[in-house]
Amino acid sequence: MLIDDPPRTLVLSRNEIAQAVHGAESPVRIVPAWATPPDTHVLIMLGETAPEAAAALRVIRHRLEQRRSDGMWVFGVTSPRDGEGKSTFSTQLALVLSESQRARVLLMEANFQRPTIAKILGFRVPEGHGFSTQLARKMRGSMDPWTVVALGPSLHVLAEETGAHTFPETLHSTHFQNVVGFLGRGYDYVVVDGPSILGSGDANVVENAVDGVIVVAQSAVSRGVDVREGVKQLGPRKAVGVVLWDAQHVKNNGGSRKSIAPL
């Protein structure tokens, strides 16, 4: 929930969260946290960018709401290569889907090699409860509940712990696909920030676990040939569309505003 005092800080009520998503007997532990994004200029939904940028995100939300009526609500986000803005877009997408508590959203970080979600949103994952760390415990037979961080009554996050050791190999375990399906039943939308496509098969693992995949490309950064090869590697079965990030920046010939091209 975005509040005005202090500005651009996400806050929550533990009881409100628990009642909204999971019952008292649910094997999911909800941990409340403060989130203070270090750079609100890159987070359109926090009001630091031109109104047309937020409008473009809401158009994408409308398109995904239409997909939800077809039984799709778990969406993976990827890019052809690293450094093309997919984690920033994943965060933007989770924020706009949960705007004004219109939907319950879980943002999952599946990019275990290069985690950034906690840094982008400015919150601390509880020690020992990064996503891949929890997956590793499940692989060893742990029956502990899944722990997610609540950044508001409608936005929860399952991310990697900043600076901690990660377990990238857990992405390929059956537990990963199982938890995406299990937690997906408790939310209106799940946004999975996945690895980049080219150079490995990690993005295809995410593809198999989600209902649809969004490919992010960045103007003046992403190469057209990489976008084509990335989309080809994923295949058309679950492709939702391609988002062009920073399109307005290029259009303005070096201006400071950012926007996106809708799906």
In the prediction, which pLDDT does 256 show?
A: 39
Banded pLDDT at 255 (limits 50, 70, 90): very low
At residue 251, the pLDDT reads: 41
CATH number of the domain bearing residue 63: 3.40.50.300
Render pLDDT for 210-251 as a digit per residue (tens, 0 to 9). Answer: 999 999 998 888 899 999 999 999 988 999 999 987 644 534
Q: Following CA atoms 169, 173, 178, 183 in sequence, which dihedral angle do they give, to the nearest 10 degrees?
A: -10
- Long-range contact set of residues 5-14: C-beta below 8 Å, sequence gap at least 24: 8/36, 8/37, 8/40, 8/46, 8/47, 9/34, 9/35, 9/36, 10/34, 10/35, 10/121, 10/123, 10/151, 10/152, 10/155, 11/152, 12/150, 12/151, 12/152, 12/153, 13/153, 14/150
pLDDT of residue 263: 62
More confident residue, 110 or 258: 110
User: Over 90: is that where the pLDDT of 171 sits?
Assistant: yes
Q: The domain containing residue 127 runs over which residues?
A: 2-261
Tens digits of per-residue pLDDT, 118-160? 999 999 999 999 999 999 999 999 999 999 999 989 999 999 9
Rank 3-7, 13-17, 221-225 by mean pLDDT and report only the highest: 221-225
In this predicted structure, the answer to whether residue 109 has a pLDDT above a threshold of 50 is: yes
Three-class DSSP labels, the chain: CEECCCCCEECCCHHHHHHHHCCCCCCEEEEECCECCCCHHHCHHHCCCCHHHHHHHHHHHHHHHHHHCCCCCEEEEECCCCCCCHHHHHHHHHHHHCHHHCCCEEEEECCCCCCCHHHHHCCCCCCCCCHHHHHHHHHCCCCCCEEEEEEECCEEEECCCCCCCCCHHHHHCHHHHHHHHHHHCCCCEEEEECCCCCCCCHHHHHHHHCCEEEEEEECCCCCHHHHHHHHHHHCCCCEEEEEEECHHHHHCCCCCCCCEECC
pLDDT at 219: 83
Closest-CA residue to 92 (of 43, 52, 131): 43
Count of domains observed in the chain: 1
In this structure, what are the phi and psi dihedrals at residue 185, rounded to the nearest 5 degrees?
Answer: -70, -15
User: What is the per-residue pLDDT across 45-101, written as a single tens digit (0 to 9) for each?
Assistant: 776 566 778 888 999 999 999 999 999 999 999 999 999 989 999 999 999 999 989
State the average pLDDT over residues 5-21: 39
Q: Is the pLDDT of residue 262 over 80?
A: no
Q: What is the mean pLDDT of residues 197-207?
A: 95
pLDDT for the residue numbered 182 = 93
